[in-house]
Amino acid sequence: MNTNKSSERAHSQTNTTKMKRIITILLLTIPILSVGQSSKMEYANRAYKKHLYETAVYLYKKVLKKRPNNKNTMKSIAECYRLLDQWHDVEWSYGKLVLDAQKPNADDVLYYAQALQTNGKHEIAMDWFKLFMELDSNDRRGEAYMKSCLIDTIEKYNEDFLDAFQLENISFNSKKDDFSPVILPNGSLVFSQGKTGKVYNWYVPVYEPFSLDFIQVKLTSGLENTYTLAKKARKYRALSAASRATSLSVSYDEQQAIYMKYDRKECGKNHPNLIPFKLFTAQKQRSAWGYHLPFDYNMDEYTLTHPAFSEDGQRIYFSSDMPGGFGGMDLYYVSYEDGDWSAPKNLGAMINTKGDEVFPFIHYATGKFYFSSNGHGGMGGFDILWTSLSKQKTWVKPERFGAPINSRWNDYNIFINKDDNFGFISSDRKGGKGGVDVYSFQRLD
């Protein structure tokens, strides 16, 4: 898995990467050539459908050389760059689409504006968000992002949070992706580490991971909001049956666990171009987890990801792109009623948007509900927000962190300790050790 946004990384591909691309192209073309010669456009579309976006870009550019004014090809290239999180290339490709069009497409304008914002060009981005609002007045993302570009808003969020939190890249991060931190009741930090089969945004997982392991580090709390991580990390073997799994959640009574997992035996049987993660539950068996069972609402047609238990264990929150939502990935919950899990219920328009909402987390002591979104406006990419239930049992308007918790890059996957004074996030911000790193934070106030 690699979600780097740095243009330097995007343009500095190694010989190994180039060789992998060539091999991938050859593998893609073998079944086609066996039935006859096809065009480069067909090859590119095939790569795109298989989520091989680097290969697709390579082939689409070959097409574009012969047909430089082909807007469909340019849009395909732009979409590949967006899914690869290569935001300087997103700005260039979507910029070409909207600047050359007499009446640009609303989504093209939105993605161009988001690229400008992510690349730090807030004033220019604000003008394009305004245009997006004119083109699609029903999509509230435009207004939210436009407000986020105001200098006063940026300064306010930074001033409110910079002096309140101290952020640090933990020592166990690797050149692989490190993400999904969770503090277990036994005082251990567990996170996921691995390399996936596709350079693709793993928060909307439709890839097949080459490797994905749970890593465990002993965590010791100290005085004055301090903590200490052990010097050595090891694989978390209590979930040894859950290879290629991530996003672990353990119930408050420590008797139930739920996680998301890729397994070729269970995933994508009917849809070979879509390889979704699914949810699995487990029961405590002494020091390990057993009785691994697929969740009731797993489907091949869509993903179920990022589960989180409520404090009483009677609800499970998760993210899914199932039909009937507000946009890409929405947040849902199921309730345990009469010995069974109820049908999934959408958390509603106060939380979900036409963008993606992922990584729910409930802080039991404060009752706050945290999640990550790219549809509520923010500092760029995914931002971490929180909300809570009102006395009327409705969600209040979400608020978001400023720097250093959020950045211009993707920030997600927050977990806060029970005393609410330190925690962990995942981020692909510039300066990390790999694509995605785990960062610790401490409250300073």
Distance separating alpha carbons of residues 190 and 229, to the nearest angstrom: 11
Average pLDDT of the segment spanning 423-428:
90
State residue 84's pLDDT score: 81
State residue 220's pLDDT score: 78
Distance separating alpha carbons of residues 434 and 134, to the nearest angstrom: 39
DSSP one-letter string for 127-188:
HHHHHHHHH-TT-THHHHHHHHT-HHHHHHHHHHHHTTEEEEE-TT--SSEEEEEEE-TTSE
Give, rounded to a whole angstrom, the gap between the first and last alpha carbons of the chain: 35
Is the model's pLDDT at 53 over the cut of 50? yes
State residue 6's pLDDT score: 43
Distance separating alpha carbons of residues 390 and 282, to the nearest angstrom: 32
DSSP one-letter string for 210-246:
EEEEEEEEEEEE-STT-EEE-S--EE-GGGTT-TTEE
State residue 95's pLDDT score: 94
State residue 20's pLDDT score: 47
- Element (H or E) spanning 81, and its range? helix 71-83
State residue 94's pLDDT score: 94
Is the model's pLDDT at 156 over the cut of 60? yes
Is the model's pLDDT at 165 over the cut of 60? yes
Average pLDDT of the segment spanning 81-95:
89
Distance separating alpha carbons of residues 132 and 114, to the nearest angstrom: 11
State residue 97's pLDDT score: 94
> Residue 138 — pLDDT band, cuts 50, 70, 90?
confident
Specify the range with the lowest mean pLDDT, choosing from 29-43, 67-81, 150-164, 251-265. 29-43
* CATH numbers and ranges of domains, the chain: 7-160 (1.25.40.10), 166-443 (2.120.10)
Q: Which of 315, 306, 318, 328 is nearest to 426 (CA)?
A: 306
State residue 161's pLDDT score: 66
Is the model's pLDDT at 50 over the cut of 90? no
Is 3 in contact with 435 (CB distance < 8 Å)?
yes
| 15-37 confidence digits (pLDDT tens) | 444 444 444 444 444 444 333 23
Reduced to 3 states, what is the DSSP secondary structure of residue 35? coil
Distance separating alpha carbons of residues 298 and 305, to the nearest angstrom: 10
> Residue 200 — pLDDT band, cuts 50, 70, 90?
very low
pTM: predicted TM-score of the whole model, two decimal places: 0.78
More confident residue, 153 or 53: 53
Reduced to 3 states, what is the DSSP secondary structure of residue 341? strand
More confident residue, 95 or 223: 95
Is the model's pLDDT at 126 over the cut of 70? yes
Q: Which of 380, 386, 387 is nearest to 403 (CA)?
A: 380
Average pLDDT of the segment spanning 396-416:
88
> Residue 384 — pLDDT band, cuts 50, 70, 90?
very high
Distance from chain centroid for Cα 45? 24
Both structure tokens of 23? 């091999």
Percent of all residues in the chain with a pLDDT value above 90, rounded to a whole number: 25
State residue 360's pLDDT score: 95
Reduced to 3 states, what is the DSSP secondary structure of residue 345? strand
Is 425 in contact with 441 (CB distance < 8 Å)?
yes
Distance separating alpha carbons of residues 284 and 254, to the nearest angstrom: 7
| 314-362 confidence digits (pLDDT tens) | 899 999 989 999 988 999 999 988 888 999 999 999 999 988 899 999 9
What value, to the nearest 5°, has the Cα angle with vertex 54 and ends 49 and 56?
45
Distance from chain centroid for Cα 103? 32
The mean of the pLDDT values for the chain is 80
- Contacts of 418-423 with C-beta under 8 Å, sequence gap 24+, read 418/364, 418/365, 419/221, 419/365, 420/363, 420/365, 420/366, 421/225, 422/225, 422/227, 423/183
Is 398 in contact with 384 (CB distance < 8 Å)?
no
| 251-278 confidence digits (pLDDT tens) | 888 888 899 887 666 555 555 555 568 8
State residue 251's pLDDT score: 86
Distance separating alpha carbons of residues 251 and 289, to the nearest angstrom: 12
DSSP secondary structure code for residue 399 in this structure = E
Work out the number of other CB atoms within 10 angstroms of the CB of residue 31.
9
State residue 164's pLDDT score: 75
CA quadruple 239, 359, 330, 197: dihedral, nearest 10:
-60
Is 408 in contact with 381 (CB distance < 8 Å)?
yes
State residue 197's pLDDT score: 47
Specify the range with the lowest mean pLDDT, choosing from 136-145, 207-216, 224-233, 295-304. 207-216
State residue 159's pLDDT score: 63
CA separation, residue 191 to residues 212, 245, 404 (Å): 10, 11, 21
State residue 308's pLDDT score: 94
Distance from chain centroid for Cα 23? 28
Distance separating alpha carbons of residues 47 and 23, to the nearest angstrom: 13
State residue 407's pLDDT score: 86
Distance separating alpha carbons of residues 21 and 423, to the nearest angstrom: 38
State residue 25's pLDDT score: 43
> Residue 69 — pLDDT band, cuts 50, 70, 90?
confident
Average pLDDT of the segment spanning 229-249:
79
Distance separating alpha carbons of residues 319 and 282, to the nearest angstrom: 19
